[in-house]
Chains A and B, each alone.
Chain A
């Protein structure tokens, strides 16, 4: 029996044929494939598990919980009327947090847990710092295009002082290039029915605000001094959030945008005999906060005037960048357009209105006209070159001698971190000033959150180019003080009667909202 088995084995060894060999190899392959498919051949280490194929900026590559100086991003409410963010473009570089925390002192300056609001003053500086363009203005160009295409609508537009020194940058012109005429020409080619100048209502603002200041100084109005300017909606909201106790200092005057909106649907509608409900009021602003301002529920004084609750004084606000987009969509090259003029009734502006776009400009314009309103005399030449309040120093002061009143002390600040210094002084009761100008954005409106991103983050070089352009235009303007504006004289004569008349109070003045409850006190 043993011999038999041995013989069989020898026989088997001889029988490794090609066929059996292939069968064996096929079997082995099948087994291998099975093992591979079930994953048994490929044991993944912990470091190679699912995920982790992407990247994060360098500051987050620290071991463990090591601190990173710049971290995360600002919160933005999906319903924010001014700014939106595309998460897909966000790289968490932290620049928005930097500008919001350190320059504007908004983020990180409220206690946690939060109330029912994502604190934002809508200034839009983050849109200028964001290197990828993830944060932008809320685009409303289509609303405007629709209104223009509607034959039943009378679409009017106003342009802020600061857009005329920045819009050109979107079309390859050097920073600060003066394109006021080309801007009007482009707006007319876009199909607006009338193109007005916010400078007109800047002059109107000065008339009202200077009158209010005089009445505060003389005690005719029981309101505290110093008086705060109220043209910058980011600043106004900042004060409502963080310094609601100082709101009585805020001038009751609306901003020039809202004044133009209110008189467009009343005065202009009457003069031109246009139904106010058919007017679509658009404004071109260097500012994202203006979008918020236009939507404030109380900004509907034309509705009260006409007893038509559907009216809002300003319907759509476009930033300078959105206007550039509209112009480019129509294949219009701004730099090649001829210069055209604003339409009459609300198209004239003085040098004092032009410099509204720069920090210190509102103050300088107000001083010129206040001097006139008090003394009934033309202001001296140095008030037309009030250099102490000009340019980029954070907090600026000046003292102006006015006959009959004495020394009027004024202060100017721009950027909300600088505003805090001034406000804390006022809160402590140590403020020597009569009048303080606040602008939300560093440099003023020329560096507003809606301006072209000509350098990211914004640079003083570009700020100065735009500021110089405004002051140069002021120096060359035929009329340089607001009270000399002939259309302003006309609107008071035909419609408003005099500054702070009953109708002026109704249309041109406003009240503020205490938002202090939205801010929880900072602890630790």
Chain B
């Protein structure tokens, strides 16, 4: 059963517990202070809280935006990874296996949300990003960040249930914008966001396609075996034809042998 997390941005108080829990559970070094304005993900920071100072009904308000991998249902990074180092698990997390990674960083180019980061300063670098605590999720626990949230901004459960809760909330309370970020974006993501401020004002990438990104390449890349085989067959045929033609030509040059 695919799992998901619902982020209710109206509930976040900006305490940053989630980013600390991420550091603690994943034993990540503290390369930067979390919970600052304009902070971004890096190889050792898999989730951050960003303060957005916006206006609502002409009154200044603060909203705290949690960033991490959205764990797409059909991830572009997974489709770009030719060594199968990135995988979408059946529980939902998009996980990274360092043993398979060749370090090509195609995943970083493929991701529409600019999530995977690279350990540029290491001799044997890895690609790093939120794993949605795949090990905890596998064992039935919620991700570390969800488990520590004191404000009830994060809810974890079955993906379908999370979508249902999100719909119920935005339809029941007129304060919410009628948009579940992650329901359709990039073909749907395991992490869903609801908010009372339009998402584009909060720094979300709202112009992302709603089609799963791998589909764009699938129609072309799906032809690869056919093209490869027929091209090979064509070349083989030409080779056989040429060889045979040369043989016949050679034989015709030596009439004396008969």
Interface status of A221 (Cβ within 8 A of chain B) = no
**What 1/0 flags go to B98-125 for Cβ under 8 Å of A?**
1111000000000000000000000000
Binds B, one of A89-97, A357-365, A455-463: A89-97
* B-facing residues in A40-58 (Cβ within 8 Å): 42, 44, 46-56
User: Which B-chain residue is minimally distant from A117 (CB atoms)?
Assistant: B62
| B16 and A87 within 8 A (CB) | yes
Interface status of B66 (Cβ within 8 A of chain A) = no
Residues of B near A118 (CB, < 8 A) are 13-14, 62
Given A51-B134, A78-B36, 6 more pairs with CB closer than 8 A: A46-B91, A46-B138, A48-B135, A73-B17, A92-B24, A112-B151
- The verdict on A75 contacting B16 (CB below 8 Å), with A51-B25, A113-B10 known, is yes
**What 1/0 flags go to B74-93 for Cβ under 8 Å of A?**
00000000010100010101
CB distance from A201 to the nearest CB of B (A): 37
| A56 and B63 within 8 A (CB) | no
Interface status of A173 (Cβ within 8 A of chain B) = no
Interface status of B23 (Cβ within 8 A of chain A) = yes
Binds B, one of A63-71, A297-305, A313-321, A403-411: A63-71
A92 to B16 CA separation, bound complex (whole angstroms): 10
Interface status of B96 (Cβ within 8 A of chain A) = yes
| B13 and A55 within 8 A (CB) | no
A-side interface residues, number (CB < 8 Å): 44
Interface status of A60 (Cβ within 8 A of chain B) = yes
Interface status of A114 (Cβ within 8 A of chain B) = yes
| B11 and A56 within 8 A (CB) | no
- The verdict on A92 contacting B142 (CB below 8 Å), with A65-B157, A112-B10 known, is no
Interface status of A311 (Cβ within 8 A of chain B) = no
The main secondary structure of chain B at its interface with chain A is loop
| B147 and A113 within 8 A (CB) | no
| B34 and A87 within 8 A (CB) | yes
Residues of B near A60 (CB, < 8 A) are 21, 144, 147-148
User: Which B-chain residue is minimally distant from A97 (CB atoms)?
Assistant: B150
User: Which A-chain residue is minimally distant from B175 (CB atoms)?
Assistant: A113
3 tightest A-B CB contacts, nearest first: A72-B150, A39-B99, A54-B27
Interface status of B71 (Cβ within 8 A of chain A) = no
User: Which A-chain residue is minimally distant from B9 (CB atoms)?
Assistant: A113
Residues of B near A44 (CB, < 8 A) are 97, 99
27 contacts between A and B (CB under 8 A): A38-B83, A39-B99, A39-B100, A46-B134, A47-B134, A47-B139, A48-B135, A49-B93, A51-B131, A54-B24, A54-B25, A55-B24, A56-B148, A60-B148, A63-B140, A63-B141, A65-B157, A71-B149, A73-B17, A75-B14, A78-B35, A87-B34, A92-B21, A92-B24, A94-B150, A113-B61, A115-B62
CB distance from A55 to the nearest CB of B (A): 6
CB distance from B145 to the nearest CB of A (A): 10
Select one of A52, A75, A91, A113 contacting B15, CB under 8 A: A75
CB distance from A35 to the nearest CB of B (A): 11
CB distance from A159 to the nearest CB of B (A): 33
Interface status of A62 (Cβ within 8 A of chain B) = yes
Interface status of B33 (Cβ within 8 A of chain A) = yes
**What 1/0 flags go to B15-40 for Cβ under 8 Å of A?**
11101110111111010011110000
| A62 and B99 within 8 A (CB) | no
User: Which B-chain residue is minimally distant from A48 (CB atoms)?
Assistant: B135
* A-facing residues in B23-70 (Cβ within 8 Å): 23-28, 30, 33-36, 46, 53, 59-63
Residues of B near A51 (CB, < 8 A) are 25-26, 46, 131, 133-135
Select one of A61, A88, A107, A115 contacting B61, CB under 8 A: A115
> Which residue, A38, A39, A51, A56, has most C-beta atoms of chain B within 10 A?
A51
User: Which A-chain residue is minimally distant from B24 (CB atoms)?
Assistant: A54
Interface status of A220 (Cβ within 8 A of chain B) = no
Residues of B near A90 (CB, < 8 A) are 20
Interface status of A74 (Cβ within 8 A of chain B) = yes
A482 to B121 CA separation, bound complex (whole angstroms): 66
Select one of B25, B62, B135, B157 contacting A55, CB under 8 A: B25
User: Which A-chain residue is minimally distant from B141 (CB atoms)?
Assistant: A63
User: Which B-chain residue is minimally distant from A113 (CB atoms)?
Assistant: B10
Interface status of A116 (Cβ within 8 A of chain B) = yes
How many A-B residue pairs lie within 8 Å, measured between CB atoms? 156
| A52 and B131 within 8 A (CB) | yes
A476 to B141 CA separation, bound complex (whole angstroms): 62
A113 to B62 CA separation, bound complex (whole angstroms): 9
| A49 and B135 within 8 A (CB) | yes
A62 to B142 CA separation, bound complex (whole angstroms): 9
- The verdict on A88 contacting B30 (CB below 8 Å), with A75-B13, A78-B36 known, is yes
A88 to B9 CA separation, bound complex (whole angstroms): 25
Interface status of B199 (Cβ within 8 A of chain A) = no
User: Which B-chain residue is minimally distant from A91 (CB atoms)?
Assistant: B24
| B148 and A92 within 8 A (CB) | yes
CB distance from A86 to the nearest CB of B (A): 8
Interface status of B126 (Cβ within 8 A of chain A) = yes
Residues of A near B95 (CB, < 8 A) are 46, 49-50
CB distance from A515 to the nearest CB of B (A): 14
Residues of B near A53 (CB, < 8 A) are 26-27
| A113 and B63 within 8 A (CB) | yes
| B11 and A50 within 8 A (CB) | no
CB distance from B75 to the nearest CB of A (A): 14
User: Which A-chain residue is minimally distant from B13 (CB atoms)?
Assistant: A75
| B25 and A50 within 8 A (CB) | no
Residues of A near B89 (CB, < 8 A) are 46
CB distance from B158 to the nearest CB of A (A): 11
A87 to B45 CA separation, bound complex (whole angstroms): 13
Residues of A near B98 (CB, < 8 A) are 50
A259 to B196 CA separation, bound complex (whole angstroms): 45
Interface status of B136 (Cβ within 8 A of chain A) = yes
User: Which B-chain residue is minimally distant from A96 (CB atoms)?
Assistant: B15
**What 1/0 flags go to A107-123 for Cβ under 8 Å of B?**
10000111111100000
- The verdict on A72 contacting B196 (CB below 8 Å), with A49-B134, A88-B30 known, is no
Residues of B near A42 (CB, < 8 A) are 99
CB distance from B81 to the nearest CB of A (A): 12
User: Which A-chain residue is minimally distant from B91 (CB atoms)?
Assistant: A46
Interface status of B159 (Cβ within 8 A of chain A) = no
| A87 and B23 within 8 A (CB) | yes
